[in-house]
Structure 1
Amino acid sequence: MAELSLRKLTAEDIDLLEEQFQSVQGAGEAQWFGFWDTTKLRTRLDQDQFIGSNDGALAICLGERTIGKVDWFTITNWGRANTSACWEIAIGIFEPFRGQGFGTQAQRLLIDYLFAHYPQHRIQATTALENTAERRCLEKLGFHQEGIIRQAQWRAGAWHDQVIFSVLRDQWSS
């Protein structure tokens, strides 16, 4: 069986992201926010290959085949940025590859990468309350559920609750 890995995004990956995530079927109900401008993705790829000091993204690969992407970005909700910044992570897996454990593996690889290369002490993730698959995934990875953020996300014509999870550097074991 092919090995799962992460690598820098390419122009071909942007084409795949555009093709796979520009519909409710492709993105999935919990990730469909409407159509979006992919020219910004191409600009960002040219700018820094999605590896920045405040955020980034990597392709998820099964062997040589791209099956999705992982993202991370700086959150400073908990105080001043110089003392309270943490990463928030997100994931998108192409529809044919969901439900096979690839999301858990990819997020584990991302967390290993972030804790190895950046000094942040906390990584958090939010997901829709009704997204039981991602909630189970985060719990399997050792994230702790911290609470519900009420009506925090506008999607599909309504406000949706989000569940927030976190893992701390000294709790993480890959």
Structure 2
Amino acid sequence: MTDTPAGTSPHADVSLRPIGEDDLPVITGYLADPAAVGPFQWFGWPDPHRWKRDWAENGLLGPDGGRLLVTRGAESAGFVAWRKIPSATSFYWNMGILLWPQARGHGLGTQAQRLLVRYLFAHTLTARIEADTDVENHAEQRALEKAGFTREGVLRGSNFRDGQWHDSVVYGILRTDPQPTP
């Protein structure tokens, strides 16, 4: 990761962009490394060809969800993802983020999630975006709160990881909520 020039924010040049085919080896490499994804995102060995198939199908951007690369300057820092959750009469988005180990702890996640919220509200009709994280993932909870999300509750036993069920914290943000500026 490059150093930030003096007097600038460490996330001043964070952006989101479509994932290119040449990004896939880096992403799948990180996803296949339990230490790289971290204890809250390791769910076992992933299908090594899934991302390539999904990219060939729609460039990882479709009507039911998508994935964008998080970059800092020219460097890949991770990715954000969202998926459509149907409701009785419409839908909302559930979103998530995975940053590479060297990108964590610098505010990039908060900024990337703010950018994704702005993108989804600007380009889709949804009124709600939600995110969830493990109850023990305090760093992600802080990042979501800084990104403007409201803690809404705990889903008990909702996530199976490492041989046991874990609770998740649900956060939400509405189109009508004040939006923090990036």
**Normalized against structure 2, the TM-score is what?**
0.90
1:73 corresponds, among 74, 83, 87, to 83
After superposition, give the CA deviation of every residue in 1:96-147 in whole Å (9 maximum; x if it has no partner).
1100000001111111100000000000000000000000111112211111
Question: What residue in structure 2 maps to residue 13 of structure 1?
Answer: 23
Ranges in structure 2 where 5+ consecutive residues have no aligned partner: 5-11
Q: How does 1:89-168 map to 2 (within 5 A)?
A: 89-168=95-174
Contact 1:23 1:34 in 2 (8 A): no
Deviation at 1:12, TM superposition (A): 2.3
Contact 2:156 2:166 in 1 (8 A): yes
Question: What residue in structure 1 maps to residue 73 of structure 2?
Answer: 63
Alpha-carbon distance in structure 1 between the residues aligned to 2:133 and 2:148 = 15
**Normalized against structure 1, the TM-score is what?**
0.94
Instruction: Please tell me the root mean square deviation across aligned C-alpha atoms, in Å.
Output: 1.2
| Structure 2 counterpart of 1:145, one-letter code | R
Q: Matched residue pairs, number? A: 170
- What secondary structure, in the 3-state scheme, does the structure 2 residue paired with 1:170 have? coil
- What secondary structure, in the 3-state scheme, does the structure 2 residue paired with 1:29 have? coil
Alpha-carbon distance in structure 2 between the residues aligned to 1:9 and 1:117 = 18
Alpha-carbon distance in structure 1 between the residues aligned to 2:126 and 2:28 = 31
- What secondary structure, in the 3-state scheme, does the structure 1 residue paired with 2:62 have? coil
Question: What residue in structure 2 maps to residue 48 of structure 1?
Answer: 58
Ranges in structure 1 where 5+ consecutive residues have no aligned partner: none
| Larger relative helix fraction | 1
Question: What residue in structure 2 maps to residue 31 of structure 1?
Answer: 41
Alpha-carbon distance in structure 2 between the residues aligned to 1:41 and 1:172 = 35
Deviation at 1:20, TM superposition (A): 1.3
**Identical residues among aligned pairs (%):** 38
Alpha-carbon distance in structure 2 between the residues aligned to 1:34 and 1:13 = 22
